[in-house]
Amino acid sequence: MPKMKTNRGAAKRFRRTSKGYKHKRTNKSHLFTGKSSKRKRQLRGFAAVSDGDLGRIDKMIPKKAR
């Protein structure tokens, strides 16, 4: 049986944590003049992946990634 291949797009977007995965928040690349300071501040950092998506990400990243 061949090896499982990691989905490279998913590997670049998600990082494994002890309890699941984390991802970068969206809407943080351009068009900042229309966004409030509060909204931009709350978009900082990383967010946890929802429980409903964990199964799909586990299939895309089968190995013990980072």
- Stretch 47-57: mean pLDDT, rounded? 94
- What confidence score (pLDDT) does residue 27 get? 92
- What confidence score (pLDDT) does residue 2 get? 87
Q: Tell me the C-alpha to C-alpha distance, in Å, between residue 56 and each of 2, 14, 17, 43, 45.
A: 20, 12, 16, 24, 23
- What confidence score (pLDDT) does residue 66 get? 56
> What residue segments make up the domains of the chain, in order of their start?
8-60
Fold exhibited by the domain 8-60: Factor Xa Inhibitor (4.10.410)
Q: What is the mean pLDDT of the chain?
A: 91
- Per-residue model confidence as pLDDT tens digits over 6-25: 999 999 999 999 889 999 99
Indicate whether 43 pLDDT > 70.
Answer: yes
pTM summary value: 0.76
Going edge to edge, which strands form the sheet with 21-24? 14-16, 21-24, 46-48
